[in-house]
A and B are shown apart, each in its own frame.
Chain A
Amino acid sequence: METTHHTEPNNLLAAPPRVVNVGLELFAVNLVSQGAEVVHVQWRPPAGGISHLIGLLEKLRS
């Protein structure tokens, strides 16, 4: 059986982390406070996650 060498995990841990954080900003703030390089993406569920409003928006966009 042929052996496959996976080098990516080692490389990932060898270099300083570069992080894209989506949603909850607290995670990004904590990483930044520890010196990590973080790009924060402001995101929240559409219509605050309220299913009735999401349904109306979908129908209005049909």
Chain B
Amino acid sequence: MQGPRGSPLKLTEEANQEALRRILTGEPILIDVVPAAQVIPDLADHVILHAGPPISWEEMCGPMRGAVTGIAVFEGWAKDLDDAANKAIVGSFAFHPNHHFGAVGPMTGLTTRSQPLIVVENSAFGNRAYCTINEGLGKVMRFGGNDAEVLNRLRWIREVLGPALGRALRELGGVPLKPLIARGLTMGDEMHQRNVACSSLFLRQLAPALARTSKSKDELVACLEFIGRNDQFFLNIAMATGKALTDPARDLEGCSVVTAMSRNGTDFGIRVSGTGDRWFTAPVEMPVGIYFPGFSERDANPDMGDSAIVETIGLGAFAMAAAPAVIAYVGAGRAAEAAAFTRSMAEIVVGSNPAWVIPALDFAGVPTGIDLRLVVETGLAPTINTGIAHREPGIGQVGAGIVKAPLACFEQALVAFAETMDIE
């Protein structure tokens, strides 16, 4: 069928190539760390941004509620967790997705006005993306933790680490992230569940500036220790990179490239370039993986977080072949099977990224630009590497695994996408 705009196939193929070009030519640079309200003016008191598509308090899962009550105490909007929960029930807080404000957040992904945000600028297109600073593993707010230890760590991040990182990054003139990620891929990272290499490379680059701009020796030591003992420190930087690279590919007429995949612990949502900012959602699936000692799948919460943005730019499970060590961590099989994940995902994308290559695949580029049409046609759901949160609020991370994006999101999106092309 050829409507007034000509061949749908030609329009989509050209639009998809343009989307791929924009993603591949982006130049993400970590330029600063600043208080959230400084770069997202809509973050007034009682406004809480969260991971995933839109959700109400009533629909939120345990860890999301745990994080909401914790962040309300942290921001001084409630005197304790019970008070925060009561305020949430009567509608005292406004909830919005991070994605609506140029931001992303891992797991519960809460962003509020006083938290320091990583600022990644895409210098090729002039857009910016934001993410909070990674808190470490275990009992942390992104996994639903909310006790005094969690809140005190967030206060230290707000009052010490965030400002110190900001000073160091400004003194450095920013850290280019594309070459750093390229190197991390050759050192066994996939930038979702394994960020050991990139966290180390980042710290190596930042440490001299951190030392030069530090206010005291104690502050410097504390910052170096915190970053140095957190293998996942780079995750949040990779996520802001993903958001900064995919945003220029949004809103292209006839484009079937997926620009966001995200979960709020209840629903999985995707956005597609050609259908604008509309979310297509379906119930989120349970990760399959490995649990920390003392926990099992009975403790697990369904999948959560904006972190699947890294899969939309070819990292995470799409780059599993670069990270054979991670396949054991997420319980997805033998090391030799890592390449099969990447090859499988290559069947549902527009192209590959020559700047981010995988040595074990003869330096093939990571599969990039998920094509909605190919997902529906093949039935190959995007695979995502993920952390697993406890289903109850206040406990934290209990494991890591992989999860499939629900095909129902893509099937709904295909119908809406076809409508934009006057096809029914």
Task: Point out residues on A near B: beta carbons under 8 Å.
Answer: 44, 46-48, 50, 53, 56-57, 59-62
Contacts and interface: CB of A to CB of B under 8 A. Distances in A.
Contacts of B407: 48
Nearest to A50: B411
A60 B373 contact: yes
A25 to B, nearest CB: 14
Contacts of B9: 60-62
B2 interface: yes
20 contacts: A46-B377, A47-B376, A47-B379, A53-B414, A56-B423, A57-B377, A57-B414, A59-B1, A59-B423, A60-B8, A60-B256, A60-B373, A60-B417, A60-B418, A60-B421, A60-B423, A61-B8, A61-B9, A62-B8, A62-B9
Contacts of A47: 376-377, 379, 411
A50 B412 CA distance: 13
Given A53-B415, A57-B376, A59-B423, 13 more contacts: A48-B379, A50-B411, A53-B414, A56-B415, A57-B414, A60-B9, A60-B12, A60-B417, A60-B423, A61-B9, A61-B373, A62-B1, A62-B2
B7 interface: yes
Interface in B382-424: 407, 411, 414-415, 417-418, 421, 423
B418 A56 contact: yes
Contacts of A60: 8-9, 12, 256, 373, 417-418, 421, 423
Contacts of B418: 56, 59-60
Q: Which of B377, B407, B415 has the most CB of A within 10 A?
A: B377
B379 A44 contact: yes
A47 B423 CA distance: 17
A57 B372 CA distance: 10
- Interface of B, secondary structure class, is helix
A50 B408 CA distance: 12
B344 to A, nearest CB: 9
A61 B374 CA distance: 11
A56 B417 CA distance: 10
B403 to A, nearest CB: 19
A62 B418 CA distance: 12
Q: Which of A46, A59, A61 has the most CB of B within 10 A?
A: A59
Contacts of A50: 411
Contact of B373 (A44, A48, A57, A62): A57
B19 to A, nearest CB: 16
Interface string B6-42: 0111001000000000000000000000000000000
Contacts of B423: 56, 59-60
B273 to A, nearest CB: 14
A17 B1 CA distance: 46
Given A60-B421, A60-B423, A53 B2 contact: no
Contacts of A59: 1, 8, 418, 423
A48 B375 CA distance: 11
A48 B377 CA distance: 8
Q: Which of A50, A57, A60 has the most CB of B within 10 A?
A: A60
A47 B8 CA distance: 19
A60 B414 CA distance: 10
A60 B419 CA distance: 10
A40 to B, nearest CB: 13
A13 to B, nearest CB: 34
A60 B38 CA distance: 44
Interface string B171-206: 000000000000000000000000000000000000
